[in-house]
């Protein structure tokens, strides 16, 4: 009797909890956390093909002297800056117009602007590669149509234009995402505040700066953090559009890690770069949660 | 009184100016939005039209309608490996999303609602790992799956997909259950319900919207997953469409209408799914902002 009651109580208590949390914890420990720790560990060793001895920070020193690593890191940072302006900035302006600027058609336009987000990055890469193709691509034909010059090696073949083009495709893909987050935040602002501002004779721009922007500050921070994490997550788009080329002009850490590990067979060197991506994902990912929780508290 | 009569004409012009200003602003607002919408739509429309054209037409009349819709661009796909790839993707997606959502719901619920040893640790690890991309753990993951003999198997594709989706899904469930009214569960507990009964009879029936959001979000994620599939599959038996399309592109590189037909086959269903379940899509994607 007594033991059944203990079992019963355990079933209602800790056993319930551990059965519930068990599968998730086991799966993500084995397939995510353990490989992440292994990444950190193997980054301290020489390549298996070169004996695999412990070399401490040797791989990281090699990274410091590797120009392609710096190109990749620089491109990741350019991505962040450009996307803060183009995705978050444009997304915020579009959200403000949808929220306050127009009365009719806002659902339709929201639907259209969000749509690219549901298309697979690989499919987006394939279709944009054709749009940007130098001889018969849509953009070439549009440029010819209005008499604009077009680079002979194509936009993606030009070391100066390729990365801006990737940024452009990224904006096409993600601006609706940022717009949706900002719009949700703007709809949370009380209409009374806007009414009061209108009575005080504030202009649309003044209202935007002194009411809308402060009202959506947590959402703005969230978008910023998503852009930062997203930049270091970028892989498919660059891989399909340029595979890091021409030369290494459009390399980002995601593509360079995969190339180093699986084409050049330097897995431990790739692990060193992966550690940097891991640190960024962990730091800015948890900041995202922190930002959300401080918003919930206020 | 005389002051008031003097004010009137001024006020009139002021009102007119404001009316005009509003009209102008409204016009600019619509103009800007319509421009953005056109920029978003042109590539999609081009893909849909081009997939029904002859190769000649794609190159000569990029934005015109196809003279005769070339449906064989689509029927020819049936003779390639692509339908098999799509079937594989369905297996991988269903096989990943169903367990992922069940396990994440279970974990998110107890993290939000129950007190037990290790709860804080699990929560912290989930917060730290939810933004990790595949490429940052690729090599050890590959070695592990290889050692388990799971390369080129559905299990080898599915297990890491479940795992990488768990932290984010758990966080969405966690924040949903944290805002879930505790009174309902409390009442059930006072009636002598076990936590199992409470979960199945009280909590789950009211969780449908958040479950649907997570299912949609993770279905899109797994359906679109490319990198892990390209690393861990070499043969045709389990290849999903994302790596299949790259092969297809390599094989038929100059046959644009055919490649774009393939793009369409994977793009249009997702857009339609999005159109019919838009509310959940938007909620799922904006999930972090709740």
pLDDT for the residue numbered A61: 94
Low-confidence ranges of chain A (pLDDT < 50): none
| Closest CA in chain B for residue A136 | B59
Q: Which residues of B touch A17 (CB under 8 A)?
A: 110, 114, 116, 119
Q: In this structure, is residue A269 part of a structural domain? A: yes
Asked whether residue A83 falls in the same domain as residue A152, the answer is yes
Q: What sections of B130-252 are H helices per DSSP?
A: 138-147, 154-178, 182-190, 195-197, 208-224, 227-232, 241-251
Domain identity same for A232 and A133: yes
Give the Cα separation of A92 and B158 in Å (integer).
37
A69 and A36 in a common domain = no
Instruction: Based on the fold, state whether residues B232 and B92 are members of the same structural domain.
Output: yes
Shared domain check, B209 and B125? yes
What domain range is A200 assigned to? 60-297
Closest CA to B49 of B33, B67, B35, B37: B67
Contact A240, A126 (CB under 8 A): yes
> For position B109, which CATH number holds?
1.10.3720.10
Residue A263 falls within a domain, yes or no? yes
Instruction: State the smallest CA–CA distance between residue B236 and chain A in angstroms.
Output: 18
Q: Which residues on neighbouring strands pair with residue A54, listed in sequence order? A: A45
CATH number of the structural domain spanning residue A123? 1.10.3720.10
Hunting for tokens 């699986």 — which residue is that? A262
Within a domain: B72: no
Same domain, B161 and B32: no
In angstroms, rounded to a whole number, what is the distance separating the alpha carbons of residues B210 and B95? 20
How far apart, in Å, are the Cα atoms of A279 and each of B136, B141, B214? 10, 18, 26
User: Which residue of A122, A225, A244, A252 to mutate against B (max B Cβ within 10 Å)?
Assistant: A122
- Is A55 part of a structural domain of the chain? no
Does a structural domain hold residue A268?
yes
The answer to whether residues A106 and A216 belong to one domain is: yes
pLDDT, tens digit only, all 290 positions of chain B: 444 444 455 556 666 666 666 777 778 888 889 999 999 999 999 899 988 988 888 887 777 888 888 888 888 888 888 899 999 999 999 999 999 999 999 999 999 988 888 899 999 999 888 889 999 999 999 999 999 999 999 999 999 999 999 999 999 899 889 888 888 888 888 888 888 888 888 888 888 888 988 998 899 899 999 999 999 998 888 999 999 998 888 888 778 888 889 999 888 888 888 888 888 877 777 654 44
Residue A48 in domain: no
**CB contact set of A50 (below 8 Å; sequence gap of 6+):** none
DSSP state of B238: T
Locate the chain A residue with the closest alpha carbon to B121.
A25
Both B188 and B236 in one domain: the answer is: yes
B139 and B239 within one domain: yes
A24/B171 touch (CB, cutoff 8 Å), yes or no = no
Do B288 and A233 count as a contact with CB atoms less than 8 A apart? no
How much is the pLDDT for B289?
Answer: 42
**pTM exceeds 0.90:** no
The answer to whether the CB of B203 falls within 8 A of the CB of B158 is no
Please indicate, yes or no, whether residues B151 and B91 belong to a single structural domain of this protein. Answer: yes
Kindly state whether residues B16 and B128 are assigned to the same domain: no
Residue A126 to residue B249, Cβ atoms within 8 A? yes
Instruction: Give the residue from B60, B92, B107 where a domain finishes.
Output: B60
Q: How close does chain B come to A241, measured CA to CA in Å? A: 11
Inside any domain, residue B261: no
Contact A97 B196 (CB under 8 A): no
Q: Considering the domain boundaries, does residue A50 fall inside one?
A: no
B275 inside domain: no
Cβ contact, residue pair B40, A116, below 8 Å: yes
Could you tell me how many residues make up chain A?
298
Task: Decide if B6 is inside a domain.
Answer: yes
Q: Is A201 part of a structural domain of the chain?
A: yes
Q: Does residue A17 contact residue B114 with C-beta atoms inside 8 Å?
A: yes
Q: Are residues B177 and B42 in the same domain?
A: no
| Residues of chain A neighbouring B223 (CB-CB closer than 8 A) | 120
The answer to whether residue B42 is domain-embedded is yes
Number of cross-chain residue pairs from A and B with Cβ atoms under 8 Å apart? 273
* Domains contained in chain B, number: 2
Is B229 found in the same domain as B93?
yes
Residues A38 and A64 in one domain: no
Is B259 contained in some domain? Answer: no
- Note whether A162 and A106 are same-domain residues: yes
Backbone angles phi and psi of A149, in degrees to 5: -70, 155
Question: Omega before A246 cis (within 30°)?
Answer: yes
Q: pLDDT per residue over A55-112, tens digit each?
A: 989 899 999 999 999 999 999 999 999 999 999 999 999 999 998 877 788 889 999 9
This model of the complex carries an ipTM of 0.89
Q: Given an 8 Å threshold on Cβ–Cβ distance, is A118 in contact with B220?
A: yes
Distance between CA atoms of residues A2 and A56, nearest Å: 57
Ramachandran angles phi, psi of B149, nearest 5°: 70, 30
Q: How many domains does chain A have?
A: 2
The verdict on A21 and A132 lying in the same domain is no
Measure the CA–CA gap between A218 and A182, rounded to whole angstroms: 10
Does the residue A49 lie in any domain? Answer: no
- Is residue B194 in some structural domain? yes
My answer on whether B19 and B114 are in the same domain is no
Same-domain status, A2 and A70? no
A114 with A184, same domain: the answer is: yes
Burial environment of residue A88 by CB neighbours within 10 A (0 to 12, 13 to 18, 19 or more): buried
Residues A91 and A214 in one domain: yes
Range of the domain at B38: 2-60
Residues A229 and A200 in one domain: yes
Do B13 and B141 sit in the same domain of this protein? no
How far apart CA A90 and CA A223 sit, in angstroms, is 12
Please tell me which of the candidates B196, B227, B288 has its beta carbon nearest to residue A222: B288
Question: Are residues B109 and B233 both part of a single domain?
Answer: yes
- Same domain flag for A161 and A238: yes
């Amino acid at each position: 009797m007594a033991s059944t009651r203990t079992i019963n109580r355990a079933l209602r208590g800790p056993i319930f909890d551990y059965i519930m949390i068990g599968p998730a914890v086991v799966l993500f420990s084995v397939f995510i956390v353990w490989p992440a720790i292994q990444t950190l560990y193997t980054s301290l060793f020489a390549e298996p093909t070169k004996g695999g001895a412990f070399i401490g920070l040797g791989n990281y020193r090699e990274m410091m002297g590797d120009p392609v690593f710096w190109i990749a890191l620089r491109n990741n940072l350019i991505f962040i800056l450009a996307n803060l302006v183009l995705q978050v900035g444009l997304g915020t302006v579009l959200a403000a117009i949808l929220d306050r600027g127009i009365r009719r058609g806002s659902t339709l336009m929201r639907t259209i602007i969000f749509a690219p987000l549901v298309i697979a990055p690989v499919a987006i890469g394939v279709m944009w590669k054709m749009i940007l193709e130098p001889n018969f691509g849509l953009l070439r034909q549009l440029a010819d149509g209005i008499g604009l010059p077009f680079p002979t090696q194509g936009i993606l073949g030009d070391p100066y234009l390729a990365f801006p083009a990737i940024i452009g495709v990224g904006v096409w893909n993600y601006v609706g995402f940022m717009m949706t987050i900002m719009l949700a935040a703007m709809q949370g602002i009380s209409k009374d505040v806007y009414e009061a501002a209108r009575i005080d004779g504030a202009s649309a721009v003044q209202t935007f700066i002194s009411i809308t922007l402060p009202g959506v500050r947590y959402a703005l921070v969230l978008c910023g953090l998503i852009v930062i994490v997203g930049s270091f997550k970028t892989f498919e788009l660059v891989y399909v559009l340029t595979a890091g080329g021409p030369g290494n002009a459009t390399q980002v850490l995601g593509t360079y890690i995969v190339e180093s590990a699986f084409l050049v067979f330097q897995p431990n060197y790739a692990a060193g770069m992966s550690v940097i991506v891991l640190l960024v994902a962990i730091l800015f990912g948890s900041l995202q949660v922190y930002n959300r929780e401080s918003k919930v508290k206020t | 009184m005389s002051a008031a009569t003097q004010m009137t004409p001024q006020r009139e012009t002021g009102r007119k100016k404001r009316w005009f200003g509003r009209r102008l602003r409204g016009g600019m607002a619509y103009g800007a939005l319509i421009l953005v919408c056109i920029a978003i739509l042109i590539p999609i429309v081009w893909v849909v039209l081009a997939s029904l054209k002859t190769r000649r037409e794609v190159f000569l009349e990029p934005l015109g309608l196809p003279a005769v819709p070339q449906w064989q661009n689509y029927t020819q796909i049936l003779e390639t490996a692509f339908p098999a790839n799509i079937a594989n993707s369905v297996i991988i997606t269903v096989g990943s999303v169903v367990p992922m959502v069940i396990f994440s719901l279970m974990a998110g619920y107890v993290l939000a609602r129950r007190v037990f040893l290790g709860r804080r640790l699990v929560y912290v690890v989930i917060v730290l790992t939810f933004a990790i991309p595949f490429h940052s753990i690729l090599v050890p993951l590959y070695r592990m799956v290889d050692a388990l003999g799971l390369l080129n198997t559905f299990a080898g594709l599915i297990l890491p997909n479940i795992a990488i989706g768990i932290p984010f899904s758990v966080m969405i469930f966690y924040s949903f259950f944290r805002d879930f009214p505790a009174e309902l569960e409390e009442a059930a507990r006072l009636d002598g319900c076990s936590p199992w009964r409470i979960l199945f009879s009280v909590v789950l029936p009211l969780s449908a919207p958040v479950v649907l959001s997570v299912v949609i979000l993770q279905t899109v994620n797994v359906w679109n997953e490319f990198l892990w599939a390209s690393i861990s599959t070499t043969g045709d038996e389990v290849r999903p469409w994302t790596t299949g399309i790259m092969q297809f592109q390599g094989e038929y590189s100059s046959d644009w209408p055919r490649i774009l037909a393939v793009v369409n086959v994977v793009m249009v269903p997702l857009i339609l799914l999005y159109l019919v379940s838009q509310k959940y899509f938007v909620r799922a994607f904006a999930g972090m902002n709740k």
